[in-house]
Amino acid sequence: MNHEHDYQQDAVRHLRTDLALALRAAAHFGLSEGVCNHFSVELPDGSGRFLLNPRGLMWQEVQADDIVMVDVHGEVLAGRHAVESTAMHIHAGIHRVARHAVVLHTHMPYATALTLTRARALDTTLSQNAMRFHGRVAVDPVYNGLALDAREGERIAHGMGSGDIAFLANHGVIVIGPTVAWAFDDLYYLERACQAQVLAASTGSPLQPVDAALAARVAAQMQAERLQSAVAGARPVDRGVFWWSQIDAARPTVVAATQEAFVPQMINLEVLGGVNFKKGCYPGQEIVARSQYLGHLHVCAVGPYNVTPMLKRFRERWPAVHLTVSVGDSTDIVERVIDYRGDLGVLVHAVSDPRIHCVPYRRQTLIVLAPRSHPLAGRGSVSLADLRNQEFVMREVGSTTRSVFEHGLTQAGVQIRVTLEIGSRESVKEAVAQGLGLGVVADAAFTPDPRIVALPITGVQLHTHSHVICRVERRPARLIACFLSVVDELRPAACAA
């Protein structure tokens, strides 16, 4: 069996696309919990293989090519990521026992809140959305801790019986179904029904359920409406919450289509991994998608001068993305990116680490800063020999700028006197302006100051090279890829060559 070949087949690629889109949609609606919880879909060939979101990726950044193919034992058969063991134990057992193609497991807040109550679950005789699930809900009243072996998944699956919605005590919920779209449609309305119940209970007023027979009739009506919608489309197995067949989750698209399926009654449905649904609709209405993204990107930088043009261009392209910038030294930036505390880093040296993808951005020439009162200030330029025995204000040992400058001095046989060490470029500049000594910075980092003269260094070329970094496996993540595309556009021709 050629797993990689099967992974690339059109039918499997459509499943990967659907699963990735469902994950991003779930993140948008607040149904995700960090990098935890998983969605899975079984391959239709009866092989027992299934697709699963990988370990370590936020749901909003999962693309079709991030989805992993695994077997029932948790072995990765195709895909570029690892999988999380508890996901395997839950999903493999349910696929094996319940025999449904799709398993969605979340800790979405309102549904999980109800698992903490004495009833453990949704009351399907309360809201109309809750009645949709009447007769379909199973409750697992036993919390056994983390699912650390396959028996826990099988226990949960056997406990579900004929239900396709499971409330797991003190844990979360599981929704199973025949297709990704069908199951996601249930997942969305399940959380809405749970939210309504939690909010109603919070008023302190007694809740007023309907008769169980009426709830059963409403459930049958809703099921009939779903089936009627499903048979109306060209791809019946994919009819559900979105017109999945029109969406390529691997890249931004522009789609205008008439949606004939039953879809959520939502307004301003945005960011589904490159597709911006302007509104949800009833049958016959138009659904519009535009190339736009939402989300959050955390960029770490050694200073503002390189990263600011990148941020400006990025904001022009993707104004709905929230940007956070942290400033620190190069060592801190690399650690933040490696530890997933930062998405990208902008620093002034290359990083050689197998975990890091490093992109050159531009070369920066070092210059000397002198207070206007200094004897060298009137020269227009200086050689390294001119700097012999001069007093300098310098960055801390380990600073890239300082290392390059001191290496040049050593090569030229010139010694200087470092009389003050200070922790930032801005501080170096201010200390120079106050007459505490000469300083050295990259030309791109210098902003004109009437108190300071910038002096080019003649006779030798001293440079730093700025780079942009991210973790290797996160390079294809949509927002990171967009930021790197901006870096490519802005990179000076000399560096790009």
Average pLDDT, the chain: 83
pLDDT band at 172 (very low <50, low <70, confident <90, very high): very high
Given a contact cutoff of 8 angstroms between Cβ atoms, the answer to whether 391 and 438 are in contact is yes
At residue 344, the pLDDT reads 94
Task: Please name which of 32, 86, 23, 82 lies closest in space to residue 56, comparing C-alpha atoms.
Answer: 82
Q: pLDDT exceeding 70 applies to what percent of the chain? A: 84
pLDDT band at 73 (very low <50, low <70, confident <90, very high): confident
At a CB cut-off of 8 Å and minimum separation 6, what does 203 contact?
none
- Lookup: tokens for 68: 């992993």
Other CB atoms within 10 Å distance of the CB of residue 277: 26
Q: How far apart are CA 278 and CA 25, in angstroms?
A: 14
Mean pLDDT of 144-148: 84
N-term to C-term CA, the chain: 44
Q: How far apart are CA 473 and CA 305, in angstroms?
A: 27
pLDDT band at 368 (very low <50, low <70, confident <90, very high): very high
pLDDT band at 369 (very low <50, low <70, confident <90, very high): very high
- Where do we find the tokens 């920066």? 364
Question: Each residue of 307-329: b (16+ CB within 10 Å) or e?
Answer: bebbbebbeeebeebebeeeebb
At residue 394, the pLDDT reads 93
Mean pLDDT of 163-181: 93
At residue 396, the pLDDT reads 86
Q: What domains, with CATH codes, occur in the chain? A: 3-245 (3.40.225.10), 295-360+465-496 (3.40.190.10), 364-464 (3.40.190.10)
Secondary structure letter of residue 308 according to DSSP = H
- With H, G, I as helix, E, B as strand and everything else as coil, classify residue 417: strand
At residue 52, the pLDDT reads 95
Q: Is the pLDDT assigned to residue 33 strictly greater than 50? A: yes
pLDDT digit string, tens, across residues 394-420: 988 878 889 999 999 999 999 999 999
Q: Is the pLDDT assigned to residue 132 strictly greater than 90? A: yes
pLDDT digit string, tens, across residues 425-471: 889 999 999 999 999 998 888 889 999 999 999 999 899 889 999 99
At residue 68, the pLDDT reads 96
Given a contact cutoff of 8 angstroms between Cβ atoms, the answer to whether 314 and 281 are in contact is no
pLDDT digit string, tens, across residues 273-324: 333 333 332 222 222 222 345 567 889 998 888 899 999 999 998 887 888 8
Higher pLDDT, 66 or 270: 66
Contacts 24+ apart (CB under 8 A), 2-8: 3/49, 3/69, 3/77, 3/78, 4/78, 6/43, 6/45, 6/49, 6/69, 6/78, 7/69, 7/77, 7/78, 7/79
Give me the amino acid identity at 354.
P
pLDDT band at 233 (very low <50, low <70, confident <90, very high): very low
At residue 225, the pLDDT reads 66
Half-sphere CA count of 92, side-chain side, radius 13 A: 23
Mean pLDDT of 174-193: 93
Please tell me the pTM assigned to this model.
0.52
